[in-house]
């Protein structure tokens, strides 16, 4: 329990090996077992489609390791600060965003409006739509959005401070783009001057 608790606060394997006089393979085995258990707990308790998410915040972290660089995508339910999902990938691509939004979808109630707040990564709008579209249609038609006819999509490009052009080509510069929503939602979100996020 002491070792796993230290892992949860970021202690590296080498530090725990020296502090407790344990074999490195034993410590690594405990870490992996704890991780698998936590993943099962998350599937059992969180990914049950019972949460009215209301607002979700998603972001990615670039992680430097020993001779590697990885990306971790994270999503959180804003009202409760509950982590809905986390995905690790060697590349920051559409698959990472799709897998992350798939986890969010597994947590969410059906037919509830949701506001997604992201860092402006261009992969998110499509991933959100793919994750929350209606499934199971057998009439041969294209699968429609779960909320089609109930709500449009408002997408705000206002994450850059002082209107600078972003250095990352996957981020759009400041400005506004309307993905089919009326003027109401876009005008409402536009009042959030200085925000570093985009809203979907």
Band (pLDDT 50/70/90 cuts) for residue 111 is confident
Contacts of 121 (CB under 8 A, 6+ apart): 60, 92, 97, 170, 171
pLDDT at 1 over 80: yes
Question: Per-residue pLDDT tens for 70-103?
Answer: 999 999 999 999 999 999 999 999 999 999 999 9
144-163 pLDDT, tens digit per residue, is 444 444 444 554 444 433 34
Residue of 82, 30, 92, 20 whose CA lies nearest to 51: 82
- Report the alpha-carbon distance of residue 81 to residue 73 in Å, rounded: 16
Question: Residue 193: helix, strand or coil by DSSP?
Answer: coil
Asked whether the beta carbons of 7 and 34 are under 8 A apart, the reply is yes
């Amino acid at each position: 329990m002491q070792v796993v608790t230290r892992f949860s606060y970021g202690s590296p394997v080498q530090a725990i090996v020296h502090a407790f006089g344990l074999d490195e393979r034993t410590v690594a085995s405990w870490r992996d077992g704890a991780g698998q258990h936590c993943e099962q707990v998350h599937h059992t308790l969180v990914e049950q489609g019972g949460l009215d998410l209301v607002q979700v915040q998603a972001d990615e972290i670039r992680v430097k390791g020993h001779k590697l660089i990885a990306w971790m995508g994270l999503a959180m339910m804003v009202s409760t600060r509950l982590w809905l999902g986390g995905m690790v990938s060697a590349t920051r691509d559409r698959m990472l965003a799709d897998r992350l939004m798939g986890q969010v979808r597994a947590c969410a109630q059906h037919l509830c409006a949701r506001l997604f707040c992201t860092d402006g990564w261009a992969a998110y709008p499509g991933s959100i739509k793919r994750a929350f579209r209606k499934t199971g249609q057998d009439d041969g038609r294209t699968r429609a959005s779960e909320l089609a006819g109930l709500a449009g999509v408002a997408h705000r490009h206002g994450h850059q401070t002082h209107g600078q052009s972003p250095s990352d080509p996957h981020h759009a510069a400041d400005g506004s783009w309307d993905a089919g929503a009326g003027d109401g939602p876009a005008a409402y979100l536009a009042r959030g001057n200085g925000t570093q996020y985009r809203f979907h």
